[in-house]
Amino acid sequence: MFHKNIAFTRILKAGGRPREFNFRRKKINEHFEYDVDTSDDRGERHYFTCYREDGTWHVHEKLLPQWVIEMLPQLPDILEASEKENA
């Protein structure tokens, strides 16, 4: 079965300022995951993966900057909206 590649960008407030977060949906077995990347003030990229388990979104990576961790509660709404748009 064909699954189209979904990629989108959202500007989210993190660390006290707007930052660009890039999302890419990928199919893993029977589920979708989202690879997410963003950059800090020095231009360093930070990558993490979001996946849904038992109806709740989780993040694979544990070593993320505090400003990314603080914005994580915003992600479920964004990811759910993407899932609905691309169902």
pLDDT band at 84 (very low <50, low <70, confident <90, very high): confident
Query: Is the per-residue pLDDT at 87 higher than 80?
Result: no
pLDDT of residue 2: 66
pLDDT of residue 62: 79
Q: How far apart are CA 79 and CA 66, in angstroms?
A: 21
pLDDT of residue 29: 80
Query: Is the per-residue pLDDT at 1 higher than 70?
Result: no
HSE (side-chain half, CA atoms, 13 Å) at 51? 13
Condensed to tens digits (0 to 9), the pLDDT of residues 32-77 reads 899 999 999 999 999 999 999 888 999 988 789 999 999 999 999 9
74: left (phi over 0), alpha (psi -120 to 50) or beta: alpha
